[in-house]
Amino acid sequence: MKIDRRELIKGGLAAAGAAVVARPGEAQAAAAAAYMLNRSPLRPDAFLRLPPGAVRPQGWLATQLDRQVNGLCGRFMEVSHFLQYDNTGWTRPNLGGWEEVTYWLRGYVDLGYVTGNPTVLSTASRWIDGVLGTQASDGFFGPTGLRTSLNGHADVWPHMPMLQALRAHAEYTGDSRIVPFLTRFFSYLNGQPTGVFRDGWGTWRWGDAIDVIYWLYNHTGDPFLLDLVRKIHSNSANWVDGLPNLHNVNIAQGFREPAQYGVLSGEARHRTASYDRYNDVQARFGQFPGGGFAGDENIRAGLVDPRQGFETCGIVEYMLSHELLNRITGDPVWADRVEDLAFNSLPAALDPLGRSIHYITSANSIDLDNAPKTLGQFQNGFAMQSYKSGIDEYRCCPHNYGMGWPYFVEEMWLATPDGGLCAAMYGPCTVTATVAGGVRVTITENTHYPFTDTITLSLAMTGPATFPLQLRIPAWCTAPELRINGATVPVSGGPRYASTTRTWANGDTVTLRLPMRPTVRTWPAQHNAVSVNHGPLTFSLRITENWVQTGGTAQWPQYDVHAGSSWNYGLVPGAAISVTTGVGNLADPFTPANAPIRLTTSGQRIDGWQADSQHVVTPLQDGPIATATPVEPVTLIPMGAARLRITAFPQTGGTRAWVPQGANYRLQNRHSGKVLGVDGMSGADSANVVQFDDNGTADHLWRIIDAGGGFVKLQNVNSSKVLAVENMSTANSARVQQYSDVGSADHRWQLIDSGNGWMRLRNGNSGKVLGVSGMSTANSAQAVQFDDTGTADHDWRLIPDGSIKIQNVHSGKMLAVENMSTANSARVQQYSDVGSADHRWVFLPDANGYFRIRNVNSGKVLGVSGMSTADSAQVVQFDDTGTADHLWRIRVNTGGSGSVRIQNANSGKVLAVHNASTADSANVEQYQDNGTPDHNWLIK
């Protein structure tokens, strides 16, 4: 039986014959409420769901939903092979299938319900009918193969999103098939062994099922449903006592389960546990803007920089959890958190037209390409940043993201148990609902929020009615202004729900102003970085975005996005922030060009802050940062409008030098044995560069920065200034000094291999080489430039400082020891940078320009098996016995960007990878120096 949707919205689920049952003492609330209350013994929720379709988007919100209808979610069945109606076990149970259909359908059906799009509604109905037709006599439905696919028992994780789709269908259509269908399925589930609740992805995600079980219990009162919830809670992941899993989506879904169970248990500790798990994650991994946390797959200790990103599935699942917790608890902070994710993170997960998606969205991200990142920046080995349909590459995200905006719209307005309404989240929309006394009300919410600060509610009613109207006051708003029919109503700052109970009439108007002003938030856990907010919006640096279509079609494009302007800015502390409105496009606000509000403040470039060799922004460093670059105006746009973005900014105006990424080196002179330093450890421009005994001071450390065109810059770690020639002189004996990196030609040097483990440094401006005045061997002797006459003081060697990693340029993988062995003769291999100790090495200087290279994990040194001199001889680790095959020297690549060859003293051959492989665990060997790219290494 189906019921007219208008009648359903008018009377809620009670129109479908569902009883509204109250506990003793709650009869008055039950009589007032037009929507279903929790049956005893379930504790009451603070707010009640309205049926899908009760809230309809307008303005910019309608634009987002329209993009979804005509974009990836609304038309994904055209291209995703997982979504072929006649070729999936979700309509043909003898076929296969997993989460893709159920993820997609969950968002797709509600997309139809909130937009009313007839094509979506028709297609959704067909799919629901197909799913219902798969149910077996024992209650199981969907692909038959899932009955035994998980350790011999059922895998019901894929069913969980489908349960939510079926509930929404019932609420929208009144389809009488759904309640008995779900009853049969949950009866089947109740009879399953405990392994069903403990195994697979589902063990972390049972909160999805609990929500629907409560819904069904409120319809039927079947006691076994509550027994099933108890069984789920007892046998699934324990989110009460800590984080049982590190996967970002499991966390985003799972942390709310204790509060959900608390609706049944009534124990405060269960509700508290969800707050605690949220706080645990955010305090350790969510210390940057956007509302998410560092979950590029799993959360990982120490990898918490704003570049880490948050999976798109994680964004929408976190939103759903916050929405549900807002209803359960009535705590407005959860609604604040929904808006944070929706306005600041979700829009940039897709291209502006909603036709392509990426796997992770980061608060700091300056290039989005389709290349794997192999330097440990992200956990996964596949490319995650370019925009594409990602059917197989991203798989979960393009199928799952679709619930984000539809669920947001549905949760904007909620019913209250006493027959009122609550505006939980804001945006342009209309809501039609039934309030106390059975009176129908339509509220038109006229606003451009969050881009403007005023929300006007216009009430259209079939007759007067007395009911409470609750309005959320966000935590960021300290001085809200509320007027009803022009009269001021006192209201305090947030976070809170402000409630007004009165007799409302047709034509009443409520005006809520939430004054917004620019505010700066400091993130102490992010090296004292700052972000800038204006109301619920966080702002990012406006970076010119160069979009390059690299594949796909016009309907389903694949894009890389590259920066066309400087991004490495810090913000000047205390600088004024001006606000510009009346620009852009309020109906389509989430692009740089269309951003309808922009902020201007003062910033400075931090030249040392660069992308790594794979175009990923390097991590933040302790600030405030010292920089000599000019103060200049910078434009900030809403974070959601910026696909390329710096959102967590270093502060400038401090004394801390920015240390570019890469290894630190000491530069040792062959003639004197002393190392290059700065006179008096000065941090000043034009301080003289000298030689000195290697006594470990920071001014003896230098970094090599690629300057392009076969040149490098040598940056002093202590001062952050670069090696330069006084007054850009081209004369012999001109003093070498340090200077701020202003880009002049005398700051560029070429590394020239001398062939004996030493090198010369040739100045790009003068063509002369670095030497020591008068070939002195004394401390504090002045470094100078001179014609390349071949004297010993012109030779220098690089001594890597501390433990470093050695990365193969060809494969991007690290020098490692097989299985982290500590045994003699264990093979040396290459492996992806997973951060293990066997990837770290220490260079121990030896005579004649050679080093022993000691593994940090084993304490053994790099050698060649059997002291062989043959090509392809295996490189191994061994006790440091002093044999010649344990000696290696660094051979710089002349005109290179800092890459080196590592040459064995015994054989004369260089470190190489077998067959130039790019695979993990490929053996490292020695080979004649014939110039293949696998002979080149970076010391990091």
Across 664-691, average pLDDT: 94
882: pLDDT strictly greater than 90: yes
Asked whether the beta carbons of 748 and 763 are under 8 A apart, the reply is yes
Q: Is the dihedral of CA 76, 81, 85, 90 positive or negative?
A: negative
pLDDT higher for 194 or 661?
Answer: 194
pLDDT at residue 369, as a whole number: 97
Average pLDDT for 459-481:
97
Residue corresponding to tokens 């560029």? 748
Q: Which residue in 449, 451, 450, 409 sits closest to 431, CA to CA?
A: 409
**pLDDT tens, residue by residue, 731-760:** 999 999 999 888 899 999 999 999 888 999
Judge whether residue 608 has pLDDT over 70. yes
Q: Which residues contact 335 (CB under 8 A, 6 or more apart)?
A: 322, 323, 326, 424, 425, 472, 474
Give mean pLDDT, residues 185-212: 97
Tokens of residue 654, six digits: 């401090």
CA–CA distance, 932 with 230 (Å, rounded to integer)? 63
pLDDT for 922 beyond 50: yes
At 19 the pLDDT is 29
Q: Express as a percent the part of the chain with pLDDT over 90.
A: 87
Asked whether residue 683 carries a pLDDT value surpassing 90, the answer given is: no
At residue 636, the 3 state secondary structure works out as strand
The pLDDT assigned to 25 comes to: 37
Going by pLDDT thresholds of 50, 70 and 90, the confidence category of residue 23 is very low
Q: Tell me what pLDDT residue 638 has.
A: 98
Four-way CATH pick for 803-939: 3.40.50.720, 2.20.25.160, 2.40.40.20, 2.80.10.50 = 2.80.10.50
Domain boundaries, the chain: 237-345, 416-447+454-513, 665-800, 803-939
774-823 pLDDT per residue, tens: 999 999 999 999 999 999 999 999 999 988 899 999 998 999 999 999 99
How much is the pTM?
0.74
Q: Please name the residue that has the structure tokens 């028992």.
A: 153
Rounded-to-integer distance, Cα 940 and Cα 550, Å? 31
Q: What is the arithmetic mean of pLDDT over 122-134?
A: 98
- Strand pairing of 496-504 and 851-855? unpaired
Backbone angles phi, psi at 627, to 5 degrees: -150, 140
Give the model's pLDDT for residue 775.
97
**Structure token digits, residue 874:** 């295996």
**Mean pLDDT calculated for residue range 72-81:** 97
> 505, 482 in Cβ contact below 8 A?
no
Residues whose CB is less than 8 angstroms from the CB of residue 69 and which lie 6 or more positions away in sequence, other chains included: 111, 115, 117, 120
Per the CB < 8 A criterion, the answer to whether 649 and 526 are in contact is no
Decide if 401 contacts 17 (C-beta within 8 A).
Answer: no
CA atoms within 13 A on the CB side of 409: 33
The Cα 193–Cα 190 span in angstroms is 8
Length of the chain: 940
Contacts 24+ apart (CB under 8 A), 749-752: 749/711, 749/712, 749/713, 749/714, 749/723, 750/710, 750/711, 750/712, 750/894, 750/895, 751/704, 751/712, 751/892, 751/893, 751/894, 751/895, 751/896, 751/898, 752/892, 752/894, 752/895
The rounded Cα 559 to chain-centroid distance in angstroms is 19
- Residue 862's nearest CA partner among 834, 890, 835 is 890
Q: How far is CA 863 from CA 442, 807, 930, in A?
A: 79, 18, 20
**Nearest one of 101, 57, 641, 116 to 407, comparing CA atoms:** 57
Q: Answer whether 665-800 and 803-939 agree in fold.
A: yes
HEC string of 362-426 equals: CCCECEECCCCCCCCCCCCCCCCCCEECCCCCCCHHHHHHHHHHHHHHHHHEEECCCCCEEECCC
Instruction: Pick left, alpha or beta for residue 116 (phi over 0 → left; psi -120 to 50 → alpha; otherwise beta).
Output: left
Alpha carbon separation from 603 to 533, 542, 577, 632 (Å, rounded) = 16, 12, 11, 6
Token duo for residue 301: 């200790």
Cβ contacts of 293 within 8 Å, gap of 6 or more: 248, 251, 281, 282, 285, 286, 299, 310, 314
Question: Is the model's pLDDT at 146 over the cut of 70?
Answer: yes
Please indicate whether residue 486 or residue 376 has the higher confidence score (pLDDT). 486
Which of 669, 759, 755, 745 minimizes the C-alpha distance to 713?
745
From residue 221, give the alpha-carbon distance in Å to each of 39, 49, 227, 272.
7, 19, 12, 27
H helices then E strands: how many in the chain?
A: 18, 48
| The pLDDT value given to residue 33 | 64
Peptide bond into 93 cis (omega under 30): no
Average pLDDT, the chain: 93
Q: Is 601 helix (H, G, I), strand (E, B) or coil?
A: strand
pLDDT at 22 over 50: no
Kindly state the tokens that stand for 90.
């979700």
Rounded (5°) CA angle 578-581-585: 140
With bands split at pLDDT 50, 70 and 90, how would you rate the model's confidence at 663?
A: confident
pLDDT digits 0-9 by tens, 285-317: 999 999 999 999 999 877 899 999 999 999 999
Which region among 12-26, 426-440, 558-572, 781-795 has the lowest average model confidence (pLDDT)? 12-26
Give the whole-angstrom CA distance, residue 256 versus residue 277.
8
Say what the pLDDT of residue 774 is.
Answer: 97
Tell me: the pLDDT tens digits for 230-276? Answer: 999 999 999 999 999 999 999 999 999 999 999 999 999 999 999 99
Contact between residue 309 and residue 378 where contact means Cβ atoms under 8 Å apart:
yes
Across residues 474-497, what is the average pLDDT? 98
What is the pLDDT at residue 32?
57
Please enumerate in sequence order all residues whose Cβ is within 8 A of that of 417, keeping only pairs 6 or more positions apart, or say none: 29, 32, 33, 37, 44, 45, 46, 47, 48
- The answer to whether 824 and 860 have CB atoms below 8 angstroms apart is yes
* 50: its two tokens: 């309205």
DSSP state of 801: -
Say if domain 665-800 classifies as CATH 2.60.120.380. no
Q: What percent of the chain has pLDDT over 70?
A: 96
CA 663, chain centre distance (Å): 27
Q: What is the mean pLDDT of residues 501-507?
A: 98
How confident is the model over 823-857, as pLDDT tens digits?
999 999 999 988 899 999 999 999 999 999 999 99
Mean local confidence (pLDDT), 848-872:
96
31 pLDDT higher than 50: no
Task: Give strand pairing partners of 927.
Answer: 910
Mean pLDDT computed over 501-523: 98
